C-alpha cells in the first residue's frame, strides 16, 4: 500500500512534466498523421542557374515530357481543323411529312385531280427543303456562312459548309419564292400554311459528339517526345541549366513523383519513419528553446497547450492545401501564427516557434527553399511591426505591411532565380492579397484564445485601464476617495516595475481594480468619509475588521460579475495577503482585559500572499500610499522612514515569500516610492506677492 501511495505521490508531483510530454506527443501524432506521405525530390534547381550538385545520371528509363507551352501549341494546332458536329435527323422529317399529308387530306375540299396536283407540289417542296436540311442556330458557337461543320447522316460523317443548309428563315423564303412562280390553280395559301407548320430544324448540333471528338483529338497528342535511358548523363556538376536540361530534370522529377505515389519506387513506411524522426527532432528543439528562453512557460499547462494549438492551426491546414492544391500554398496565412505568438508572448520565442513551424511545413511543400525564405522573412516583418502593439488598428497596418513584404520578396526571388520577372503573374499578387486579408483572422483568434486559455493581452489591459470603463466610472462616482487612491497606487506600481523590470501595464491595470470591493460599503473606509463622523465608532473592533476584510471578497465577486480576467482578480485577492488589520487588532488588544481573548484570526485577511512580482509591488504601493496620507509632517525624513518601516514589516511577515523579488529589487522599489512620494507631497516655494 505504501508503494502505491508513493507512486501516486510521485505522479502528482510530476503532473506538469507528464502533461507536457503528452501534449508534445499528441501534437507530433497529428502532424505526422496529416503530413503528405510522399518522398520529396531531393534537388532544388532553377532555370539558367548552374547545377549545384554532383553530376546527375538517370536512375531509370523515363520519358521526356513536353512543356506546357509545347502542349498548348499542339492543342491549338489540333483544334484548328476541328469542326463542330451536327446530326442530320431523317426521322423527324419523315414523321413531320406524314403528319403534314394527313393534315392536307383533312383540309382539302376541291376535286380529286386538283388534290393530287397540290399534294405533289407540297411533297416535292417539302422534300427539297428537308433533304437539303434546316440547321439549328447555336448561341455558344459563332458560325459564319463560310464556316465548316461535320454532319452525321445515317452513320456517315461528311464535312460541309454552313451555307449548304437552310435556316428556318431561308427555308420559308425559298418556299414563298417557289410558290410564287407556280400556276394559279395551286392552293398556295394552304401549301404555305402546312409548310410553316411542319417544317422543323433537322440538322441539330450535338454537344456530346463534339466534346467526344475534341477529347479524342486532344488525347491523340503525345505528352512526351523522347526517352532518357538508365545511367545516361542528364547534367554535369556546375553545368548551366538550359531550357532543354530544365525540361529533362522536370521530367525526371515528374516520373519520380508518379512512381513514388504509386508505391513502386519507395516504401511509404520509410517516408513515414523519416517524417516521425524529423518532426520529433523539431518538437524536441522547440521544447529546448522554450526551456532556455522562457522556462516559465513550461510551468503552465495552458501556455504549452496554447503554443501547440496555434502551431497546429497553421500546420494542418497547410498540409491539406498541399494535398489538394499545392500551387495555392501561399494562400495559407502562416503569419497569423507569428502575430498570435508576439501578441501573447515575446518576440524572441515567437521567432523561434515560427521558424520551427515553417520548417515542418517546408518538409512537405513543393519548392521548399523559396517557400521557407519568403514565409520566414514575412513572418519576421509581422513580428517586428507588432512587437510594440498598442492598439487593434496596428493589426490592420500589419496586414498591409505583410502584403507589401510578400510582393517585394516574390520580386526578389524572381530576380535571383529566374533572372527576370517573367514568371511573376497577377495571380501571385492576388494570392498574396488574399493571404494578407486572411491575416485579419488574428483579431477574432486573439479573443478566442483569451477566453479558452485565460490569457490577457496588452490590448485588453489597455481597454480595462481606461477610466471610462463602466466599473471604474462606478468606482469614481460611488467611492471617489478610493478612486484617487487606486490611481496614485497605479502610478507607483508602474514606476517601480519600470525600474526593476516587469509587466507595467498589467500592474497598472491590476492596481486600478484592487480596491473595487470598496464600492459595496464605501463610507466604512476613511478616504471616502467627508464628515467627522466615523461609522466604526458604533461597532466592535471585530465587526469593523470583518467589514474591512470583506472588501477583498466583495472585490473578487464584482470582478467576476463584470467578467474581468483572472490576472486582474489576482491583484484583488492578494493585495493584503495574510496581514492583519493592524489598527483594529491593536485597539482590541488595548481595550481587552485579557489579551488572550482576542483571536488574531478575526483580524487577518484570508490571502493568498502575492505570488508574482507585479502583485507584490502592488501590496507595497497600496500600503505606502495609504499610510502616507496620514503623515502630519510630510518631510523627506518622515517619508523615508514610512516607506522603510512598511515594506520591512511586510517582509518580516513573509508576505513576499512566493514572489520572484530579490533584495536588490526591494531596495530599488523603496527608492522609487520615496522619490515618487516626495514629488507628490512637495511643498511649493512661496513667491512674494
Within this chain, do residues 542 and 424 fall inside the same structural domain, yes or no? Answer: no
- Provide the 10 A C-beta neighbour count for residue 587: 17
Query: Who has greater pLDDT, 688 or 635?
Result: 635
pLDDT band at 434 (very low <50, low <70, confident <90, very high): very high
Rounded to whole angstroms, the Cα distance separating 465 from 462 reads: 5
Within this chain, do residues 21 and 139 fall inside the same structural domain, yes or no? Answer: no
Task: Look at residue 46 and tell me if it is in a domain.
Answer: no
Total domains, the chain: 3
**Residue 21, all three cell numbers:** 510530454
**Residue 422, all three cell numbers:** 517573367
pLDDT at 613 over 80: yes
pLDDT at 265 over 50: no
Task: Look at residue 445 and tell me if it is in a domain.
Answer: yes
Domain termination site, one of 421, 453, 485: 453
pLDDT band at 389 (very low <50, low <70, confident <90, very high): low
pLDDT band at 9 (very low <50, low <70, confident <90, very high): low
How big is the chain, counted in residues?
Answer: 689
SS3 letters for 566-585?
HHHHHHHHHCCCCCECHHHH
Contact 555, 572 (CB under 8 A): yes
- CATH number for the domain that contains residue 483: 1.10.3210
Half-sphere exposure of 145 (CA within 13 A, CB side): 3
Residue 152 domain boundaries: 80-217
Rounded to whole angstroms, the Cα distance separating 343 from 6 reads: 42
Query: Who has greater pLDDT, 336 or 366?
Result: 336
Residue 475 burial by CB count (10 A; 0-12/13-18/19+): exposed, middle or buried? buried
Residues 6+ apart with CB under 8 A from 521: 547, 550, 551, 554
Within this chain, do residues 284 and 343 fall inside the same structural domain, yes or no? Answer: yes
Within this chain, do residues 616 and 527 fall inside the same structural domain, yes or no? Answer: yes
Within this chain, do residues 324 and 212 fall inside the same structural domain, yes or no? Answer: no
Within this chain, do residues 185 and 116 fall inside the same structural domain, yes or no? Answer: yes
Within this chain, do residues 536 and 624 fall inside the same structural domain, yes or no? Answer: yes
The mean pLDDT value of the chain amounts to 85
Domain termination site, one of 418, 453, 488: 453
Task: Look at residue 398 and tell me if it is in a domain.
Answer: yes
Rounded to whole angstroms, the Cα distance separating 456 from 447 reads: 9
**Residue 666, all three cell numbers:** 526591494
pLDDT at 348 over 70: yes
pLDDT at 10 over 80: no
**82 pairs with which residues across the strands?**
none
Within this chain, do residues 515 and 660 fall inside the same structural domain, yes or no? Answer: yes
Within this chain, do residues 97 and 29 fall inside the same structural domain, yes or no? Answer: no
Task: Look at residue 435 and tell me if it is in a domain.
Answer: yes
pLDDT band at 418 (very low <50, low <70, confident <90, very high): low
Contact 642, 631 (CB under 8 A): yes
What is the DSSP secondary-structure string of 431-489? Answer: HHHHHHHHGGGHHHHHHHHHHHH----HHHHHHHT-TTSHHHHHHHHH-HHHHHHHHHH
Domain termination site, one of 217, 247, 279: 217
Within this chain, do residues 653 and 519 fall inside the same structural domain, yes or no? Answer: yes
Within this chain, do residues 393 and 468 fall inside the same structural domain, yes or no? Answer: no
**203 pairs with which residues across the strands?**
88, 135
Q: What is the dihedral of CA 485, 487, 488, 492, to 10 degrees?
A: 130
pLDDT tens-digit map of 49-90: 788 778 888 888 888 888 888 888 888 777 777 788 899 988
Say whether pTM exceeds 0.85.
no
What pLDDT, on a 0 to 100 scale, did the predictor assign at position 252? Answer: 82
What percent of the chain is modeled with pLDDT above 90?
A: 35
Rounded to whole angstroms, the Cα distance separating 602 from 17 reads: 40
pLDDT at 39 over 60: no
pLDDT band at 683 (very low <50, low <70, confident <90, very high): very low
pLDDT at 207 over 70: yes
Residues 6+ apart with CB under 8 A from 304: 19, 20, 23, 24, 290, 297, 298
pLDDT tens-digit map of 450-482: 888 888 888 888 889 899 999 999 999 999 999
Contact 671, 625 (CB under 8 A): no
In what helix (H) or strand (E) does residue 248 lie, and over which residues does it extend?
helix 243-261
Task: Look at residue 241 and tell me if it is in a domain.
Answer: no
Task: Look at residue 378 and tell me if it is in a domain.
Answer: yes
Interval 97-121 mean pLDDT: 85
Within this chain, do residues 332 and 389 fall inside the same structural domain, yes or no? Answer: yes
Rounded to whole angstroms, the Cα distance separating 327 from 367 reads: 10
Does the CA dihedral 543-549-552-557 come out positive or negative?
A: negative
Task: Look at residue 225 and tell me if it is in a domain.
Answer: no
DSSP class of 284: H
Contact 435, 321 (CB under 8 A): no
What pLDDT, on a 0 to 100 scale, did the predictor assign at position 261? Answer: 58
Amino acid at each position: 500500500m505504501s508503494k502505491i501511495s508513493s507512486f501516486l505521490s510521485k505522479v502528482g508531483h510530476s503532473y506538469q512534466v507528464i502533461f507536457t510530454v503528452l501534449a508534445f506527443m499528441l501534437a507530433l501524432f497529428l502532424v505526422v498523421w496529416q503530413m503528405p506521405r510522399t518522398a520529396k525530390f531531393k534537388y532544388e534547381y532553377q532555370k539558367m542557374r548552374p547545377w549545384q550538385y554532383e553530376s546527375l545520371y538517370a536512375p531509370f528509363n523515363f520519358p521526356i515530357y513536353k512543356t506546357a507551352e509545347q502542349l498548348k501549341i499542339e492543342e491549338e494546332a489540333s483544334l484548328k481543323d476541328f469542326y463542330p458536329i451536327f446530326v442530320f435527323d431523317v426521322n423527324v422529317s419523315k414523321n413531320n411529312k406524314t403528319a403534314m399529308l394527313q393534315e392536307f387530306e383533312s383540309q382539302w375540299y376541291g376535286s380529286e385531280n386538283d388534290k393530287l396536283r397540290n399534294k405533289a407540289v407540297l411533297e416535292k417542296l417539302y422534300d427539297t427543303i428537308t433533304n437539303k436540311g434546316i440547321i439549328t442556330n447555336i448561341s455558344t458557337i459563332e458560325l459564319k456562312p463560310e464556316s465548316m461543320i461535320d454532319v452525321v447522316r445515317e452513320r456517315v460523317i461528311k464535312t460541309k459548309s454552313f451555307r449548304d443548309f437552310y435556316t428556318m428563315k431561308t427555308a420559308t423564303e425559298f418556299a414563298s419564292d417557289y410558290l410564287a412562280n407556280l400556276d394559279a390553280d395551286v392552293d398556295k395559301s394552304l401549301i404555305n400554311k402546312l409548310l410553316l407548320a411542319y417544317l422543323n430544324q433537322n440538322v441539330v448540333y450535338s454537344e456530346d459528339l463534339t466534346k467526344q471528338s475534341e477529347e479524342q483529338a486532344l488525347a491523340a497528342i503525345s505528352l512526351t517526345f523522347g526517352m532518357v535511358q538508365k545511367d545516361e548523363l542528364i547534367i554535369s556538376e556546375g553545368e548551366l541549366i538550359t531550357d532543354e536540361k530544365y525540361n529533362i530534370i522536370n521530367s525526371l522529377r515528374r516520373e519520380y513523383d508518379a512512381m513514388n505515389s504509386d508505391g513502386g519506387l519507395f516504401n511509404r513506411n520509410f517516408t513515414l519513419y523519416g517524417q516521425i524522426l524529423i518532426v520529433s527532432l523539431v518538437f524536441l528543439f522547440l521544447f529546448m528553446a522554450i526551456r532556455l528562453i522562457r522556462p516559465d512557460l513550461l510551468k503552465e499547462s495552458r501556455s504549452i497547450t496554447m503554443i501547440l494549438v496555434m502551431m497546429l492551426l497553421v500546420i494542418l491546414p497547410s498540409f491539406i492545401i498541399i494535398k489538394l492544391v499545392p500551387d495555392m500554398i501561399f494562400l495559407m496565412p502562416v503569419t497569423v501564427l507569428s502575430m498570435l505568438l508576439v501578441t501573447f508572448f515575446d518576440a524572441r520565442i515567437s521567432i523561434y516557434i515560427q521558424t520551427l513551424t515553417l520548417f515542418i511545413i517546408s518538409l512537405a511543400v513543393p519548392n521548399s527553399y523559396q517557400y521557407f525564405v519568403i514565409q520566414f522573412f514575412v513572418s519576421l516583418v509581422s513580428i517586428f511591426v507588432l512587437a510594440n502593439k498598442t492598439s487593434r488598428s496596428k493589426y490592420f497596418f500589419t496586414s498591409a505591411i505583410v502584403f507589401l513584404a510578400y510582393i517585394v520578396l516574390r520580386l526578389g526571388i524572381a530576380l535571383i532565380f529566374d533572372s527576370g520577372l517573367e514568371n511573376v503573374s497577377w495571380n501571385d499578387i492576388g494570392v498574396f492579397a488574399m493571404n494578407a486579408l486572411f491575416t485579419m483572422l488574428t483579431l477574432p483568434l486573439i479573443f478566442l484564445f483569451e477566453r479558452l486559455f485565460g490569457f490577457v493581452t496588452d490590448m485588453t489591459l489597455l481597454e480595462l485601464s481606461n477610466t471610462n470603463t463602466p466599473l471604474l466610472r462606478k468606482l469614481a462616482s460611488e467611492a471617489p476617495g478610493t478612486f484617487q487612491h487606486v490611481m496614485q497606487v497605479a502610478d507607483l506600481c508602474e514606476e517601480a516595475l519600470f525600474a526593476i523590470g516587469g509587466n507595467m501595464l498589467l500592474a497598472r491595470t491590476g492596481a486600478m481594480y484592487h480596491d473595487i470591493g470598496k464600492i459595496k460599503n464605501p463610507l466604512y473606509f476613511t478616504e471616502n468619509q467627508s464628515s467627522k463622523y466615523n461609522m466604526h465608532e458604533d461597532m466592535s473592533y471585530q465587526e469593523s475588521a470583518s467589514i474591512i476584510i470583506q472588501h477583498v471578497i466583495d472585490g473578487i465577486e464584482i470582478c467576476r460579475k463584470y467578467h474581468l480576467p483572472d490576472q486582474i482578480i489576482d491583484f484583488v485577492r492578494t493585495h493584503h495577503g495574510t496581514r492583519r488589520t493592524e489598527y483594529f487588532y491593536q485597539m482590541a488588544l488595548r481595550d481587552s482585559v485579557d489579551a488572550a481573548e482576542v483571536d488574531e484570526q478575526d483580524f487577518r485577511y484570508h490571502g493568498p500572499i502575492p505570488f508574482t512580482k507585479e502583485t507584490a509591488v502592488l501590496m507595497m504601493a497600496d500600503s505606502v500610499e495609504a499610510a502616507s496620507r496620514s503623515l502630519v509632517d510630510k518631510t523627506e525624513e518622515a517619508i523615508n522612514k514610512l516607506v522603510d518601516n512598511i515594506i520591512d514589516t511586510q517582509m518580516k511577515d513573509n508576505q513576499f515569500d512566493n514572489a520572484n523579488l530579490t533584495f536588490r529589487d526591494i531596495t530599488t522599489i523603496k527608492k522609487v516610492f520615496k522619490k515618487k512620494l516626495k514629488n507628490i507631497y512637495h511643498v511649493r516655494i512661496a513667491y512674494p506677492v
